[in-house]
Amino acid sequence: MAPGFLANILRKTPTVAQLASRGVLSVSGSQAPEFLNGLLSTSVPSPPKGPFYSAFLHAQGRVMYDVFLYTTTTPAGKPGYLLEYDSRSSEAPSLLPMLKRHILRSKVKIRDVSEEFDVWAAWGSESLPEIPKSWSWSRSGVVEPSWESTEWPWGAQDETLMDQRAPGMGQRLLTRKGDKPAEALSYDIGSPSDYLLHRIALGVPEGSTDIVPMHAFPMESNIDIMGGLDFRKGCYVGQELTVRTYHTGMVRKRILPVLLHRSGETPQIADPVPEFPLHLDIRPIRINQPSGDKPLPRPRGTGKLLSTHGQYGLALLRLEHVESALNNELTLEIENPGDGKIWQASPRWPSWWPEPIAEEEYNRLAEAASV
């Protein structure tokens, strides 16, 4: 499922890795589903059906946190939730006090349980089911997955989540602090770097490095493709701009995997690579100018380099730049202050992504839906 330049370097054996910089909050109480439903970008079933992926947006529709919501059972034997998020400091308001400000008179209790739980990712096992999905496109370029199963796609087990953001992502697991998941007995023990490379290969952004708090838009960050947005639920914080983009806007950027290589050289997996600082600008440079004609204008805008692992990375890119780069009409260049040299970022579409539909087909489907 990985782009060609990454498929051969992924771990081929079942692997489990503990993830750093993840916080966990406990959300419980008889009105916890309604409380979370008014804040999260996806619907929160009541009573709970199982875990899922979602996000907290601010009022202007930008992402504060992308999160995983797990079901759990409280010490009193009642259903509750565990909310996993990136706990590193960022421009976003701290999650715990932000949520507490919204409680008002709701029968909800929130507490930080990060010191009680460890977060793990497991992937590579053929025993983990992949649920087929279909895709729904809007004219704006928003994409929604629909899982072809009557069962809850993210799983139904407490403190465990079947990661449906992309085929092959595996599971996320919560364990008591200091404990290892059962999978550690038979899986290879990997590192956070192994998990990072796994995410990059599948084109899955995660956390504040990739989905920059208070700046990133959810659709540009692929949260729609990964199943973290509901465009039909009732009011929630950030809904207005998100739904408006769905109906009348246009998705002009996406996060994609890139291969980093020396400028002017054929992309290959070989040379040693320096570390790249976070969020370097990626500049589009036009090539193959038509001879004898007036030079074409310089492409507008820049991209941003996000997470990297050696020669591999994720980047937020304008879709028009991606198309031109794949057609050899421009290059995407980065000046690395670490070595003072120019590098190129060659993008690839994740192979599991849905194929865009033609305008004529979209119009036909829209007319059929209106009958």
Antiparallel, parallel or unpaired: β 133-137 and 117-123: unpaired
> What single string gives the DSSP state of each residue in 237-255?
TTHHHHHHHHHH----EEE
SS3 content of the chain, % helix, strand, coil (to 5): 20, 30, 50
Closest CA relative to residue 316, chosen from 298, 334, 330: 334
Nearest to 222 by CA among 346, 357, 317: 317
DSSP E strands, the chain: 15-19, 22-28, 52-57, 63-73, 79-86, 109-112, 117-123, 133-137, 143-147, 160-162, 171-176, 188-189, 253-262, 281-286, 303-309, 312-318, 330-336, 341-347
**Residues contacting residue 179 through CB under 8 Å, at least 6 positions apart:** 118
Give the separation between CA 333 and CA 274, rounded to whole angstroms: 15
C-alpha–C-alpha distance, residues 60 and 136, integer Å:
25
- Say how far apart CA 226 and CA 145 lie, in whole Å: 8
| DSSP 8-state symbol, 40 | B
* Residue-wise pLDDT tens digits, 180-200: 999 999 999 999 999 999 999
pLDDT at 368 over 90: no
Q: Tell me what the mean pLDDT of segment 328-339 comes to.
A: 90
What are the tens digits of pLDDT across the range 215-247?
999 999 999 999 999 998 888 898 988 999 988
Give the range among 107-116, 169-178, 181-190, 358-367 with minimum mean pLDDT: 358-367
Q: Lowest-pLDDT range, 64-73, 155-164, 291-300, 357-366?
A: 357-366
Residue 283, strand partner residues: 333
Please state, in angstroms and rounded to a whole number, the distance separating the CA atoms of residues 274 and 330: 24
Radius of gyration for the alpha carbons in the chain, expressed in angstroms and rounded = 21
What's the mean per-residue pLDDT of the chain? 89
Per-residue CA distances from 181 to 65, 185, 186 (Å): 26, 8, 10
> Taking a C-beta distance cutoff of 8 angstroms, is the pair 108, 35 a contact?
yes
What does the block give as tokens for 254? 């996406």
CA quadruple 179, 181, 184, 187: dihedral, nearest 10: -160
pTM for the full predicted model? 0.91
Provide the pLDDT for residue 8. 66
Query: Can you tell me the mean pLDDT for 329-356?
Result: 89
